[in-house]
Amino acid sequence: MTSGSAHPDLRAALMSAVAERAPKVDRDRVGACFDYAAAAHADQRRSSGQPFVSHAVEVCRILFDLLEARMDTTLACAALLHDVVEDTTITTQEIEKHWGREVASLVEGVTKLSSMHFDSREAAQAENFRKMLLSMSRDLRVIFIKLADRLHNMRTIEFLREDKRQRIAMETRDIYAPLAHRLGMAGIKRELEDLSLKVLDPAAYQELSQRIQARRQERETFLGRVMEDLRDALKAHGLKAEVNGRPKHFHSIYQKIRAGRALEQVYDLFGIRIITHTRNDCYRALGVVHDLFDPVADRFKDYIATPKSNMYQSLHTTVLTADGEMVEVQIRTWDMHRTAETGVAAHYVYKQGGHVDEELDKRLGGFVAEIAGWQRETDDDEYMDFLRTALHQEEVFVYTPRRELKRLAKGATPLDFAYLIHTEVGQKTVGARVNGELVPLRYELRNGDTVEIVTSAQAKPHEDWLKIARTAQARGKIRHWLRQRRLADSVSLGKEMLEREMRRARLRITDEQMAKAAADLECEDLEQLYARVGEGQISITVVLRRFLPEKETLAERLAKGPVEDTTPVRKPSGGVRIQGIDNVMVTYARCCQPVPGDPVVGIVTIGRGVSLHRQDCPNTFGNRVPAERRVAVEWDARTGDTFPVRLVVSGTDRPSMLADLAKAIAATGVNIRTAGMQAEHHTVRGVFVVEVPHLAKLQEVIVAMRRSPGVTRVERRQRLIKHTPSSRYEEDDES
């Protein structure tokens, strides 16, 4: 960086502005920062032909206007450097090295905002976009710089190409002016609106400007007289106050005219403003005004007692002068005036040495709370919603592939997004692309991401989704679906179980008789009876006993003859055929991990379909499982299916044993899912999870492992589940 300054005239102007207007700002540091920015932008020029760094200086000056004596060194430096990262080769890291973390993070914030362009015509989209900008900036100072940047660009927009002018003016009208309004920064808002109107409807702007000019001359003498009278009267009452004429800005007149009012009817075209030193003086001044002129009924508004939601405070009244002309008068204190013009900026205080973000946050937290207090009277939910979202960053904004902006809770994943788009999309989700790249469904969405959901007609919600979805909305829909699915499973399972036992007991029971039994058992209908049987809440014995002679139990009845189950084997369900029971979810027991070839038994679980166990699994022995919950099953695995089996290895420790075992397993062509070994003294214990298609292959693997030197034992895992009477048989985890 050069020490002598490029552009000495610009530097001098900046330095004198600092000296006059920003006493707290460190002049040497800002001077050095100017030199750094000027060197970085070097020969870059604006479309106007001005050196680029002049823009940075102007942005800085706009901030002086906005913050006045509250302007600080950090903000001044960040303003001077705001385009350096975007437009030169200098990086955020370099800014941080020279100017500190805080300046760097402000510059980074502004750079990030500059990459966001608004391109929709929809009002709802604009609102979301504004929230996203605020939420992305994390620090209101970033917004201050961005608004100042936009204001200067609008002031010099005439030098740009027509298409660029249109795009920027539209974005200014739809996004930045309303944003300034939301933050109570009326001065900037007015100017942004007028400048965009000039670009977007130049003919209307010209006409308006001429007509207002004509009317101004006509009214000037008249208003001058009224103001003189007011000044005299205020003075006579011992009130110190400033009395001004107040031209309305074009954009608001333009809108009133477009809403169908004639220019002549917009009688507050030129109003009068009285600015006092104390709040009390405002009311005293009001008394003076109403003493001098007749107030127009229903035109008085006290925004001091009841401020507007963007903090605006003033007394408004309209009076009738002796000439029969109507004049609108606003009365406020200097503090209220500053808040009316600069909104949140009027409340910005920089704490030297403090954690600025935290301080500002607290400050803004207070600001939100303050508004919340007014809220009861202002009744502007939308505004509160806006501030909460923007300042507390509880939300994240992402685009659909069609550039619609969607709003989600912070921490939301593509699955939440899918459910937000449509329940159907959520149910069918199989994957997601963010900014064109495939991401896991757990990916945490970030502001500005473009999200595309990959769906499949076969997909359906899964229990695991409850761990992935973060929003109440998506979780509710997933839970609902799972509940429905479980209920449907229970109903068909209960029905099939009852029918099977009826056949075995050679009982003929009509639906009507069964419905009566349902009512006796306090079920609403037949379906509920089936569901309760399927869920294990009502036992089959309890139901069927009602249809047996009093002295005969179901067990005795069944013992009378051989099982006479003539129902054909039905279609395969998840790799097994289940006799007599159809449409059932099948799970493979984790305690014994059956594979095709193992003799197996199906156990009807509570609410989770049929669980498949090995016949020698200790969890199915004897009275652990009531006979009526057992179903006959046989394997019907498709080729290509594999089943995980956990093998426990023990032996004497030696080097590279794990590698040798892995090699031995791989040689059988079987996939290893996990492998691990632990040595203790001279013995070793290892656990391998392998994926095998059938029992013969598993035995081959076990033999191969046993042949490995040092191995003394290889066993399949058998685990006893802690048993309680209401055990679900499946509450075994992967351990």
Q: In which residue are the tokens 């107040």 written?
A: 246
Nearer to Mn ion, 83 or 108 (CB): 83
Shortest separation between residue 21's beta carbon and Mn ion, angstroms: 21
Shortest separation between residue 41's beta carbon and Mn ion, angstroms: 11
**Judged by CB under 5 A, which stretch of 71-79, 144-152, 337-345, 681-689 contacts Mn ion?**
144-152
Shortest separation between residue 254's beta carbon and Mn ion, angstroms: 27
Output the CA–CA distances (angstroms, integers) from residue 391 to 177, 371, 381, 446, 735, in the order listed. Answer: 18, 13, 15, 16, 45
Exactly one of 58, 149, 341, 535 binds Mn ion (CB under 5 A); that residue is 149
**What's the length of the chain?**
735
Return the residue nearest Mn ion (CB atom): 149
Nearer to Mn ion, 149 or 489 (CB): 149
Nearer to Mn ion, 111 or 587 (CB): 111
Tokens found for residue 168: 């920027």
Q: Restricting to residues 54-93, which ones interact with Mn ion according to CB under 5 A?
A: 83
**Judged by CB under 5 A, which stretch of 147-155, 214-222, 241-249, 550-558 contacts Mn ion?**
147-155
Nearest one of 686, 691, 692 to 706, comparing CA atoms:
686
Q: Which long-range contacts (CB under 8 A, 24 or more apart) does 685-689 make?
A: 685/648, 685/649, 685/650, 686/648, 686/649, 686/650, 686/657, 686/658, 686/661, 687/646, 687/647, 687/648, 687/649, 688/646, 688/647, 688/649, 688/661, 689/644, 689/645, 689/646, 689/647
405 pairs with which residues across the strands?
399
Instruction: Please state the three-class secondary structure of 292-352 as a single string.
Output: HCEECCCCCEECCCCCCCCCCCCEEEEEECCCCCEEEEEEEEHHHHHHHHHHHHHHCCCCC
d(CA 264, CA 89): 55
Shortest separation between residue 231's beta carbon and Mn ion, angstroms: 43
Task: Give the E-state strand segments of 248-287 in sequence order.
Answer: 270-276
679 pairs with which residues across the strands?
684
Shortest separation between residue 153's beta carbon and Mn ion, angstroms: 7
Residue tagged active-site, from 9, 86, 524, 715: 86
Nearer to Mn ion, 85 or 408 (CB): 85
Nearer to Mn ion, 40 or 517 (CB): 40
In degrees rounded to 5, what are phi and psi of residue 146? -65, -40
Is 232 part of the annotated catalytic residue set?
no
Shortest separation between residue 147's beta carbon and Mn ion, angstroms: 11
Shortest separation between residue 45's beta carbon and Mn ion, angstroms: 14
Residue tagged active-site, from 26, 65, 68, 87: 87
Helical ranges in 628-691 per DSSP H: 657-667
How many other β-carbons are positioned within 10 Å of the β-carbon of residue 691? 15
Is 108 part of the annotated catalytic residue set?
no
Nearer to Mn ion, 58 or 72 (CB): 58
Core vs surface per residue 138-149: b (16+ CB within 10 A) or e: bbbbbbbbbbbb
Shortest separation between residue 40's beta carbon and Mn ion, angstroms: 13
Pattern of binders to Mn ion over 442-461, x per CB under 5 A? --------------------
Q: Restricting to residues 462-521, which ones interact with Mn ion according to CB under 5 A?
A: none
Nearer to Mn ion, 83 or 139 (CB): 83
Q: In which residue are the tokens 């199915």 written?
A: 620
| # binding residues, Mn ion (CB under 5 A) | 2
d(CA 110, CA 141): 9
- Residue pair 66/144 in contact (Cβ under 8 Å)? The answer is yes
Element of type H or E holding 200: helix 186-200
Nearest one of 468, 351, 347 to 419, comparing CA atoms:
468
Nearer to Mn ion, 59 or 304 (CB): 59
In degrees rounded to 5, what are phi and psi of residue 640? 105, -25
Nearer to Mn ion, 149 or 732 (CB): 149
d(CA 645, CA 592): 8
- Residue pair 184/314 in contact (Cβ under 8 Å)? The answer is no
Termini Cα distance of the chain: 63
Shortest separation between residue 211's beta carbon and Mn ion, angstroms: 35
Nearer to Mn ion, 78 or 714 (CB): 78
Can residue 598 be called a binding residue for Mn ion (CB under 5 A)? no
Shortest separation between residue 357's beta carbon and Mn ion, angstroms: 23
> Which residues are near Mn ion by CB under 5 A?
83, 149
Residues serving a catalytic function are 86-87
